[in-house]
Amino acid sequence: MANYTGPVCRICRREGVKLFLKGTRCMTDKCAIERRSYPPGQHGQGRSRVTDYSAQLREKQKLRRMYGMLERQFRGVFKRAERQGGVTGENLLRLLEQRLDNVVYRIGFALSRKQARQLVNHGHILLNGKKADIASITTSVGDVISVKPKSHELLAIKSALEVTEGRGAPNWIDVDREAFRGTINALPAKDDIGAPVNEQVIVELYSR
């Protein structure tokens, strides 16, 4: 199964919320949600019947697309969350946030998770001083994520750091922009994540 390669703005319109899939464009009046806040397609403005299942499915699709994952990958993360102790929904959000590509995005090395995944896959990111080119690696407390020295002058990274400077980093990551480095100081809490989803209905969907 291949990744989606069509217009990503259609995804945000389908889910009815900004998923920040297109970097700085999402923060301007060119954002598709701002211009056309209804689902894409011929019947996008028509009424549709909402059932419990459809509501659960939309929440799952929203979260999966937000992190740019295929269904099989997402289900694998959910199963890991189930095996952990505690609340499955919160475990799911935490595991998604701990993905290396998401941490790269949260630090500010990239303007979107897709761009962050590209940086990782192309070998520009180091994890604890060693090359890490697998975007799905789960990071841990104490891990140091940095940009390879030879990549410090990469225009995509420098411009991303400039744009995201005012955004700040989440509380669970210490960022040193001058050193092109971020350190995970704690596990992300639910309040730190701020994902626009109801994770409990996703748990209900997979429990059907």
Beta bridge partners of 176: 181
Residue 112 belongs to a domain: yes
Supply the range of the domain harboring residue 113. Answer: 99-186
pLDDT at position 7, please? 60
CB-count exposure of residue 142 (10 Å: 0-12, 13-18, 19+): exposed
**Closest listed residue to residue 145, CA positions, set 158, 156, 153, 133:** 133
The pLDDT tens digits for 4-52 are: 555 665 555 555 565 656 555 555 655 655 556 656 654 455 556 678 8
Query: How many domains would you assign to the chain?
Result: 1
Mean predicted confidence (pLDDT) in 175-197? 89
Average pLDDT (40-67) is 77
Which residues are within 8 A (CB) of 144 and not within 5 positions of it... i.e. 6 or more apart? Answer: 126, 127, 128, 129, 181, 182, 183, 184
Q: Look at residue 92 and tell me if it is in a domain.
A: no
Residue 140 reports pLDDT greater than 90: yes
Is 140 a member of any domain?
A: yes
Query: Which pLDDT score is estimated for 92?
Result: 95
The closest of 143, 132, 135 to 185, measured between CA atoms, is: 143
Q: What is the CATH number of the domain that holds 150?
A: 3.10.290.10
Bridge partners for 126 per DSSP: 131, 146
Which tops the pLDDT comparison, 162 or 30?
162
Report, as an integer, the average pLDDT of 167-185: 93
Q: What is the pLDDT of residue 2?
A: 47
Check residue 165 and give its pLDDT: 85
Q: Is residue 129 part of a domain?
A: yes
pLDDT in tens, 80-105: 999 998 899 999 999 999 999 999 99
65 part of a folded domain:
no
Q: Is residue 103 part of a domain?
A: yes
182 inside domain = yes
Any domain includes 104? yes
Q: Which two tokens stand for residue 79?
A: 């199963």
